[in-house]
Chain A
Amino acid sequence: MKFGIVVFPGSNCEADCYYVIDKVLGENVEYIWHQQESVDGFDGLVLPGGFSYGDYLRTGAIARFSPVMNAVERFAKSGGLVIGICNGFQILLEAGLLPGAMQRNKVLQFRCQPTQLRVERSDTPFSNLCRERQVLTVPINHGEGNYYADPDSLAELEANRQVVFRYCTPGGEAAAEANPNGAVNNIAGIVNREGNVLGMMPHPERCSESVLGSSDGRLIFASLVEWWKGGGAVVGSN
């Protein structure tokens, strides 16, 4: 499988994603500079974490206007697999490829810490190697990860089973004390309605090798590969 990692000025997790795809998964991977206007030839795209354009205006707000984003949008609309991690998730929200918005963490401070995620669905391209209700340990690293959607959108999101990962206790309960940033319904990661675009705040690339304390993140990258090898057909959420 050939991955493309989109690099914006200010991205800073692109090399980590590259390493995991290349060295841990052994798949093909290339960087895509934000000024490129085509993403032809890639089987999956990663929008990595970081501070694109310094995130000075609003996270992801400027990156979404990069030339590459038109190509990313076309790629997503045609069913291509896209995963946005942290800042990548924020950019996907700004680009309208995923519903909702980010607010500052409820604690009003940056948070870098491990979190537990409950896998809500195991039938997506991003979680097919996980079991439903499996608890993964994946670290977060953000100042604005407090996911918000208005009540109607939220109801729709839940009804369509678009929530893939929810912050939970080690026992798997989506409790308030397990929510590190105040995200509505403990949401850590969602897919679009079609199921081919995932945005998640936690960083799977930071926990894809046991030497780093957890290798749960590898399941997410490996799920993409598994899906693609199985024919890459995207199953809608309904």
Chain B
Amino acid sequence: MSEAIKAGVWRDMGLTDEEYGRIRELLGRDPNYLEIGLFAVMWSEHCGYKNSRPVLKLFPTSGPRVLQGPGENAGVVDIGDGLALVFKIESHNHPSAIEPFQGAATGVGGIVRDIFTMGARPIALLDSLRFGLDDERARYLFGGVVSGIGFYGNCIGVPTVAGEVFFHPSFEGNPLVNAMCVGLIEQEKLALGAASGVGNPVMVVGARTGRDGIHGATFASEELNETSEERRPAVQVGDPFMEKLLIESCLEIIDKGYVVGMQDLGAAGLTSSTSEMASRAGTGIEIDVTKVPLRETAMTPYEIMLSESQERMLVVPKAGCEAVVQEVFERWGLNAVVIGRVTDDGLYRIKEGDRVVAELPARLLTDECPVYYRDEKEPDYYQELKKFDPRSVPEPGDYNEVLLKIMASPNLASKEWVYRQYDHQVGINTVIVPGDGDAAVLRLKEHSPKGIALKTDCNSRYVYLDPYRGGALAVAEATRNLSCTGAEPLAITDCLNFGNPEKPEIFWQFKQAVLGMSEACRALGAPVVSGNVSFYNETRGQAVYPTPTVGAVGLLEDVGRRCSQGFKQEGDLIYLLGPYAHHVGASEYLSLIHGRDAGPVPEIDLKLEKQIQETCRALIREGLLQSAHDLSEGGMAAALAESCISGRIGARIYMEDDELHNRRGDAILFGEGPSRIIISSRPAAASRVMEVCLEKGVPLVCLGMVDGKELKITANHRKYIELGVESIEQAWRGGIDSWLSRS
């Protein structure tokens, strides 16, 4: 096993001198080239979470419904009737920055494998995307990412049901591409990623191994710069057809009871899957790289172990089941080859034929990954921007013009351009489709009268201006969106996208955001069951706006009692459930119209948030509501406009509360804040709606009624908005197209 190691070779692979020293110490000898490669990928931030682990411990991760928290391939929650949901969100930011189509496509492929690895059938995909705003490349990346997601998801027959897109200059050069997958499983069929049972065979199934994606995990753990383009070979190419065959064959072998453990080959390929499976089971593992089916010739053990070729899985079947497993895969036209076995010596041993080319205790790769407690420092901008007085900007003269501009801005505009490229219906479960509600709602036909609601959310601007509050607001908004459909939030998964954690200001953002999220998760009863950290989202030293994306999952006891966002019928009464907004700090309005990302981020009272969500769900359960729509970017005016567009009907709104007398029109109309929902009900239900809100002790104001073809908003006796719904709709529908054709 001796060979000459060039001094410093570990640095090219992403290890520091200290880490290399630690490896020597742990091994009691010099590692060989292959072993250094194994440590480099497994000790990368992407695989080892060495910078984030101590902070991630702050999340609440348990609850009565949690069957599996973080640590497995995905989180699992109990939805009753013997069923469970398996879900996780993951980033594919850096590959997408270089090669948007394949980067995004393989991001989808990876997260889908995490779900069916556990034995669950993937039933829904979501995404959360961030792009630059003014640069030409942002348009190219946007188009490529959207078509890549569609290409993969559409082909494998998993509907892409919800998501979000946000544009801001801070994402120039470093877009964020987060993909979430949700699977459904009968609890008793749950499979885990552990290589247990000494003597059991270890099989690699699916695609052949090539040279693509070598050191992808390391690439994901560094900043982007001018030479990143040279990393194009570290981006893998996706084959969704192969994935579809893998889904069917893997679910079949689990269903037939052949499997002990299964793990997908994602970041760090064979290296991570074999070592993680051994480590989870506390066993050893031995594999022979000459047995691995290859698609290229003359691949070295190093290349085989570090390849990130897509659509491969590691399967540990019960001993004696090799042949029947092979039969299933053959029927689907796939490889299934025994490459090694589970051992009892705790060693991670790689052989090339008879020759041992690497041998070390398996736990060194997973459990001994160093943990860094990074310095944190409040960034200079924080106090400065917080002090900004939002009333210092001039009040608009023409509010109609401002509303049209906000509705047409890419952040608020219809995302039809995106979701029309996604199959959002396959599976015939999607009963609230994109654009119709605050979250997607799926029925569980054949299984249960229940339904599930899904949504991803995060306001990156809030998190930048106030990471603690922004983190809490992200959890609040995602869960509120579920509640607006009538679903009770069960748990969340998160994708924490930040800059370089070695910079104290970035680490401060990260920790504050996690603290804020944790508080909200606790208050709202939605623990974190899975997630992913993506650091080093920087270009030319500039970090992206911190974006801890929240993927929330909720349950409707009766999918027949669900609610969508559009106004339904003339004469229905419109209410604001929750408080008025106080100011326009940190708002989309302030950013878009006045060019300022500044001011105080809206405060959140988590007790009120919980009550508002509960009240909304109770109203929907009682069948009292015609519509419910959360107030987010663009404030009250944008939410009302959206409910009008969605229902193709107008509304007349009067706001004359004493509380508003000294408040500016822009604060009332465009100010943002949590714990606010626009609801509508039939006049006959009005007294009961008020009664329920009184019982729950939450604020409720009647704002007006559904009427005509125009949106008219009057406040403090001043007529602010008078616009045809059709003209608002036109601006809103054309927003993305006009952004794309802007030059």
Q: Is the CB of A110 within 8 A of B150?
A: yes
Q: Is the CB of A56 within 8 A of B426?
A: no
Q: Which residues of B contact A205 (CB under 8 A)?
A: 428
Q: Which residues of B contact A9 (CB under 8 A)?
A: 241, 244-245, 332-333
The listed residue (A53, A109, A112, A203) touching B424 by CB distance below 8 A is A112
Q: Which residues of B contact A112 (CB under 8 A)?
A: 154, 419-425
**A16 an interface residue at 8 Å Cβ cutoff?**
yes
- For window 138-164 of chain B, which residues contact chain A by CB distance below 8 Å? 147, 150-151, 154-157
Q: Which residues of A contact B333 (CB under 8 A)?
A: 9
For the complex formed, measure the closest distance between the CB of A62 and the CB atoms of chain B, giving whole angstroms: 10
Q: Is the CB of A212 within 8 A of B241?
A: no
The listed residue (B155, B430, B433, B446) touching A54 by CB distance below 8 A is B155
Q: Which residues of A contact B423 (CB under 8 A)?
A: 110, 112, 141
**B70 an interface residue at 8 Å Cβ cutoff?**
no
Per-residue contact bits, chain B 718-732, to A (CB 8 Å; 1 contact, 0 not): 000000000000000
- Total contacts A-B at CB 8 Å: 86
**B240 an interface residue at 8 Å Cβ cutoff?**
yes
Q: Which residues of B contact A23 (CB under 8 A)?
A: 445-446
B560's nearest neighbour on chain A, judged by CB, is A211
B436's nearest neighbour on chain A, judged by CB, is A213
The listed residue (B242, B421, B431, B446) touching A211 by CB distance below 8 A is B431
Q: Is the CB of B244 within 8 A of A141?
A: no
**A58 an interface residue at 8 Å Cβ cutoff?**
no
The listed residue (A10, A16, A212, A213) touching B244 by CB distance below 8 A is A10
Q: Which residues of B contact A53 (CB under 8 A)?
A: 241
**B427 an interface residue at 8 Å Cβ cutoff?**
yes
**A65 an interface residue at 8 Å Cβ cutoff?**
no
A22's nearest neighbour on chain B, judged by CB, is B446
Given contacts A51-B155, A112-B420, contact A206 B244 (CB under 8 A): no
For the complex formed, measure the closest distance between the CB of B563 and the CB atoms of chain A, giving whole angstroms: 14
Complex CA–CA separation, A26 to B294 (angstroms): 48
Q: Which residues of A contact B332 (CB under 8 A)?
A: 9
Given contacts A19-B428, A112-B419, A211-B431, contact A51 B240 (CB under 8 A): yes
Complex CA–CA separation, A23 to B443 (angstroms): 15
The listed residue (B150, B157, B242, B424) touching A12 by CB distance below 8 A is B157
Q: Is the CB of A19 within 8 A of B147?
A: no
**B222 an interface residue at 8 Å Cβ cutoff?**
no
The listed residue (A13, A19, A110, A213) touching B446 by CB distance below 8 A is A19
**A113 an interface residue at 8 Å Cβ cutoff?**
yes
**A133 an interface residue at 8 Å Cβ cutoff?**
no
- For window 414-454 of chain B, which residues contact chain A by CB distance below 8 Å? 419-428, 430-431, 433, 443, 445-446
Complex CA–CA separation, A20 to B332 (angstroms): 25
Complex CA–CA separation, A54 to B241 (angstroms): 5
Q: Which residues of B contact A20 (CB under 8 A)?
A: 428
Per-residue contact bits, chain A 160-190, to B (CB 8 Å; 1 contact, 0 not): 0000000000000000000000000000000
A180's nearest neighbour on chain B, judged by CB, is B420
- Name B's interface SS: loop
For the complex formed, measure the closest distance between the CB of B106 and the CB atoms of chain A, giving whole angstroms: 15
Q: Which residues of B contact A139 (CB under 8 A)?
A: 425
**B633 an interface residue at 8 Å Cβ cutoff?**
no
Complex CA–CA separation, A15 to B123 (angstroms): 13
For the complex formed, measure the closest distance between the CB of B568 and the CB atoms of chain A, giving whole angstroms: 14
Q: Is the CB of B155 within 8 A of A111?
A: no
Complex CA–CA separation, A195 to B400 (angstroms): 56
**B239 an interface residue at 8 Å Cβ cutoff?**
yes
For the complex formed, measure the closest distance between the CB of A21 and the CB atoms of chain B, giving whole angstroms: 12
Complex CA–CA separation, A19 to B241 (angstroms): 23
Q: Which residues of A contact B156 (CB under 8 A)?
A: 12
Interface size class of B (residues with CB under 8 A): 20 to 34
Per-residue contact bits, chain A 41-76, to B (CB 8 Å; 1 contact, 0 not): 000000000110111100000000000000000000
Q: Is the CB of B421 within 8 A of A16?
A: no
A17's nearest neighbour on chain B, judged by CB, is B428
A56's nearest neighbour on chain B, judged by CB, is B241
Complex CA–CA separation, A149 to B161 (angstroms): 35
Complex CA–CA separation, A195 to B67 (angstroms): 54
Q: Is the CB of A16 within 8 A of B427?
A: yes
Complex CA–CA separation, A176 to B240 (angstroms): 33
Given contacts A10-B241, A110-B147, contact A141 B446 (CB under 8 A): no
The listed residue (A50, A109, A206) touching B421 by CB distance below 8 A is A109
A205's nearest neighbour on chain B, judged by CB, is B428
Q: Which residues of A contact B428 (CB under 8 A)?
A: 16, 19-20, 205-206, 209, 212
Q: Is the CB of A51 within 8 A of B446?
A: no
Complex CA–CA separation, A143 to B154 (angstroms): 10
A213's nearest neighbour on chain B, judged by CB, is B433
B150's nearest neighbour on chain A, judged by CB, is A110
Q: Which residues of B contact A50 (CB under 8 A)?
A: 157
- For window 686-715 of chain B, which residues contact chain A by CB distance below 8 Å? none
For the complex formed, measure the closest distance between the CB of B258 and the CB atoms of chain A, giving whole angstroms: 20
For the complex formed, measure the closest distance between the CB of A15 and the CB atoms of chain B, giving whole angstroms: 8
Per-residue contact bits, chain A 79-95, to B (CB 8 Å; 1 contact, 0 not): 00000000000000000
Q: Which residues of A contact B445 (CB under 8 A)?
A: 19, 23
Complex CA–CA separation, A62 to B150 (angstroms): 22
Q: Which residues of B contact A15 (CB under 8 A)?
A: 427
Complex CA–CA separation, A56 to B238 (angstroms): 12
Q: Is the CB of B443 within 8 A of A13?
A: no
For the complex formed, measure the closest distance between the CB of A49 and the CB atoms of chain B, giving whole angstroms: 8
B147, B157, B332, B443: residue with the most chain A Cβ atoms closer than 10 Å: B157
For the complex formed, measure the closest distance between the CB of B252 and the CB atoms of chain A, giving whole angstroms: 13
Q: Is the CB of B431 within 8 A of A110?
A: no
For the complex formed, measure the closest distance between the CB of B329 and the CB atoms of chain A, giving whole angstroms: 12
B143's nearest neighbour on chain A, judged by CB, is A109
For the complex formed, measure the closest distance between the CB of A138 and the CB atoms of chain B, giving whole angstroms: 11
For the complex formed, measure the closest distance between the CB of B335 and the CB atoms of chain A, giving whole angstroms: 14
Complex CA–CA separation, A56 to B240 (angstroms): 10
B147, B424, B428: residue with the most chain A Cβ atoms closer than 10 Å: B428
- For window 10-43 of chain A, which residues contact chain B by CB distance below 8 Å? 10, 12-13, 15-16, 19-20, 23
- For window 92-135 of chain A, which residues contact chain B by CB distance below 8 Å? 109-113
Complex CA–CA separation, A29 to B190 (angstroms): 29
Q: Which residues of B contact A16 (CB under 8 A)?
A: 426-428
Q: Which residues of A contact B430 (CB under 8 A)?
A: 212
B241, B427, B431: residue with the most chain A Cβ atoms closer than 10 Å: B241
Complex CA–CA separation, A205 to B445 (angstroms): 14
A16's nearest neighbour on chain B, judged by CB, is B428
Complex CA–CA separation, A206 to B157 (angstroms): 13
Q: Is the CB of B425 within 8 A of A206?
A: yes
Other than the given A53-B241, A112-B420, A206-B425, 4 more pairs (CB < 8 A) read A20-B428, A23-B445, A23-B446, A141-B423
Report A's interface with B, CB cutoff 8 A.
Answer: 9-10, 12-13, 15-16, 19-20, 23, 50-51, 53-56, 109-113, 139, 141, 143, 203, 205-206, 209, 211-213
A sample of 11 inter-chain contacts (CB < 8 A) reads A12-B156, A13-B157, A20-B428, A51-B241, A109-B420, A112-B419, A112-B422, A112-B423, A112-B425, A211-B560, A213-B433
